[in-house]
Structure 1
Amino acid sequence: MAGMSVADMAGLFLRPGAPIRIEAFDGSSWGESDAPVTLRVRNSRAVYYMVQHPGELGLARAYLQGDVDSPQLVPGDPYEVFRRLTAVKPYMRRPDPRGLARALAMVASHGIRLPKPPSIEGPSRLRRISEGLLPHTKAGDAATVSYHYDQSNEFYAMFLGPSMTYTCALFDSPQESLEDAQSAKLNLVLDKLGLEAGDRLLDIGCGWGSMEILAAKRGIHVLGVTLAEEQVSWGQDWIRREGLDDLAEIRLMDYRDVPEGGFDGICSLGMMEHVGIRHYPKYFREIFAKLKPGGMLLNHQITRTNSYVGKSAGPFIDRYIFPDGQLASPGEIETRIQNTGFEVIHEENLRQHYALTLHHWNANLQSHWEEAVRLVGEPKARLWGLYMAGSALNFELNTIQIHQYLCIRPDGRGTDSYPLRPWWHSR
């Protein structure tokens, strides 16, 4: 692109001394050769992606297609590059309008191009609505959950490990294995709920069935529901292999359609991100109605850190990971729980644990990288590495958190309906 190089364009947005080097396909470069991180712009398509969608969506498209990369980057685990890029943020600047206009004119002189997004990109929110998939309706939820979870079960198994547990684990120390930490998390949920053999548990958004297996082995009658067909198939087969058909069941069903009630306990682990904040009151009312008096809810969900930041995910997450996903702050969630009629007994933040969990998942993906690429293609394998590493960094930086709320449906007996002190083993 004669007249203004790609490096010149990058320099419009960076102050001198920024700890980054840009190397471009036109032979230009910006920054010191010994910078902590180098980004390579391999072709003009990357430039057009960034012009069309400045910010995370354009950059993600370029990365997933291999148009932007880094010599420091590990595709299955790009965490280290993300961590180094955080040092660049203070050097970012608003470009001079004349320089920006010149850069845009330079790009336009080569023709107005709108390169196609990667084939794995989902439709925009407006397109989903135009197709009748309204956010957080039954049809909309079924479509968006299927988009995320109805992938290859074998692909998920590569990074989740044998437990097939796609939520935050619980660690005694950073050295603990992922399997032990996931077992500890599932046991903690059942212990908090105070469930015993013969009790009935509803698991909303049950995933591949790890909770169903453990609960049934404790003698608990458990019903899991999910909107992902691949998960149902995996979970039902797992239950049969373990010989637990008399205690555990998994259904392809919206939680709102579960006809049974009077459950002793209900858990929802990593499902609330799909509900939509406006629908929280209805969600908690549904759960309240399905619990018997004195029954308990364990709600486990990712949250914002505070209530004044945006609730909806950005365009990258919306199109590639969790369509229509929303996150509220811990206080906003607890208020809605209490307003439903629940009493919140206990709440805790497991932010650090989720960062550790994601590092394990990234390490697993990287160790199976060639197999993952063969199974789902490099763009999708890159996508999951990108998403998990970025999430790990955001948990570490306290941009997002994950909270567990233990709640009881009051039974009218007064103050002695549960023990005076926590009855579960604290880790």
Structure 2
Amino acid sequence: MTSSRVDSGAAEDGAWRELATPPHSPMRAKIAEALFRRAVRPLDVRVVLPGGRWLGAGGPEAPCMYLRRPAAFFHRLGVDAKIGFGEAYMVGDWTSDALAEVLTPFAERMATLIPPVLQRFRRLVDRRQPADEENTVDGARANIHRHYDLSNDMFATFLDETMTYSSALYGSSEEALTTAQHRKIDGVLDYAGVREGSEVLEIGTGWGELSIRAAQRGARVTSLTISEEQAALATKRIADAGLADRVDVQLRDYRLSEGQYDAVVSVEMIEAVGADYWPAFYRTIGERLRPGGKLGLQAITMSHDRMVASASSYTWMHKYIFPGGLIPSPESIETGLAEHAGLKLRAAREFGQDYARTLREWRERFTHRWAEVSDLGFDEVFKRMWEFYLAYSEAGFRSGYIKVRQLSFGR
């Protein structure tokens, strides 16, 4: 796959042709089936097989995973479990009417699904990240292009009016997504000490809402992005808000940034940096901050031991959604910013369940407006890919396997 944008058609056509025929590896498929049956035995799900038999510990009300083509499913799982499980959903080898609910029990036991005695062999079967997905200056631009340059119109079908593609921070169960997104943005700006007269560097523009919000406080913002589609729409949205004189959107890699600022802000961009490039990212932040300046950071995180265990893995998420990335641990962020930028943690908040809710809202909007997405040239395989991505992510936050944090750093 070089792009997620596809022509209309089935899995046999165009960019999805590689998925049409499952891999063939009888021995691995047999092992995969045995491990899968063992893994689902204690889970609160029902894996329903053709003919009506089912696996798992779930009762009548448990979420169901319908295994339509078991042979193809186990061959995909056997050849590469971390990619094959999602690909099997993309092509319909298995389905579910409660996708996030099915995936959540798997996420809750992610660290123990494979028996410990077999985990020592993971390095023999784990695929390595392709060299062309490394986050060099050129590689990072190519990786970002594959996801964020899909189509502004496509993203607009499921994001709220702020075009904010990161976790909201809800104040109540009834609160609208837009209000919750503004609360999230305000939290990051507060953590960075952004106020009237502040000079702010934003690393990762998105579609411009944080820059707009900061400029409305009276700040001047330099915002960096390497997505051409995002830069174009962000610039337009900023101009439409009457703030073009206060915000400068630059198509520039963070490593090529210049100047010093009172505040640096970055929302859910660190996950795309890649572990090998975190030191450069942290050094850049330190170099851009004036004495007394603050960093406001929002980051998806995972536990340190899971980060270390998964650091070299190449997964479905890398192949289809976010190439080149790695979710950091809170410890790695704190240590890295101390060592490479001379910054110390001053404040933090965690709100992973808010991300689960955000993702569910996005998925419901995406599904409800699928006809509009289809009209943009995306097919049914893309639909299942995007559904799996959003539900898989929601399950990760629901289970606590991954979390999201806002962090404030200063010298």
Residues 217 and 374 (structure 1), Cα distance of their counterparts in 2 relative to 1, 3 Å cut: same
Deviations 1:77-134 (A, max 9, x none): x21332466799999788xxxxxxxxxxxxxxxxxxxxxxxxxxxxx855x42xxx36
Q: CA deviation at 1:13?
A: 4.1
Residue 104 of structure 1 is matched in structure 2 by none
Residue 112 of structure 1 is matched in structure 2 by none
Unmatched tracts of structure 2, length 5 or more: 1-28, 116-126
Contact map agreement 1:11 1:30 (CA 8 A) in 2:
no
Residues 12 and 190 (structure 1), Cα distance of their counterparts in 2 relative to 1, 3 Å cut: closer
1:374 equivalenced with 2:375 (yes/no) = yes
| Range 164-173 or range 337-346, more displaced | 337-346
Deviations 1:204-252 (A, max 9, x none): 0111111111112222111111111110111111122222111112121
Amino acid at match of 1:61: E
CA distance in 2 between partners of 1:43 and 1:250 (Å): 50
Partner SS state of residue 240, structure 2? helix
1:321 equivalenced with 2:347 (yes/no) = no
Asked which structure has the greater RCO (Cα within 8 Å, sep 6+), the reply is 2
Contact map agreement 1:216 1:244 (CA 8 A) in 2:
yes
Greater C-alpha Rg: 1
How many residues align structurally? 366
Contact map agreement 1:17 1:31 (CA 8 A) in 2:
no
Contact map agreement 1:342 1:407 (CA 8 A) in 2:
yes
| Range 146-155 or range 361-370, more displaced | 361-370
Contact map agreement 1:10 1:30 (CA 8 A) in 2:
no
Q: CA deviation at 1:322?
A: 1.3
1:82 equivalenced with 2:81 (yes/no) = no
Percent identity over the alignment? 31
Residues 7 and 373 (structure 1), Cα distance of their counterparts in 2 relative to 1, 3 Å cut: farther
CA distance in 2 between partners of 1:185 and 1:87 (Å): 26
CA distance in 1 between partners of 2:100 and 2:218 (Å): 41
Residue 291 of structure 2 is matched in structure 1 by 293
Residues 391 and 407 (structure 1), Cα distance of their counterparts in 2 relative to 1, 3 Å cut: same
Aligned pair partner of 2:397 in 370, 376, 395: 395
Residue 248 of structure 2 is matched in structure 1 by 249
Aligned pair partner of 1:60 in 86, 101, 112: 86
Residue 348 of structure 2 is matched in structure 1 by 347
Residue 276 of structure 2 is matched in structure 1 by 278
- Normalized against structure 1, the TM-score is what? 0.76
| Range 38-47 or range 261-270, more displaced | 38-47
Residue 227 of structure 2 is matched in structure 1 by 228
Amino acid at match of 2:284: E
Residues 306 and 366 (structure 1), Cα distance of their counterparts in 2 relative to 1, 3 Å cut: same
CA distance in 1 between partners of 2:279 and 2:159 (Å): 32
Contact map agreement 1:7 1:22 (CA 8 A) in 2:
no
Contact map agreement 1:212 1:249 (CA 8 A) in 2:
no
Q: CA deviation at 1:191?
A: 2.1
Contact map agreement 1:307 1:328 (CA 8 A) in 2:
no
Contact map agreement 1:14 1:92 (CA 8 A) in 2:
no
Partner SS state of residue 373, structure 1? helix
Residues 385 and 152 (structure 1), Cα distance of their counterparts in 2 relative to 1, 3 Å cut: same
Residues 262 and 366 (structure 1), Cα distance of their counterparts in 2 relative to 1, 3 Å cut: same
- Normalized against structure 2, the TM-score is what? 0.79
Q: CA deviation at 1:40?
A: 3.1
Amino acid at match of 2:327: L
Residues 83 and 210 (structure 1), Cα distance of their counterparts in 2 relative to 1, 3 Å cut: same
Residue 335 of structure 1 is matched in structure 2 by 335
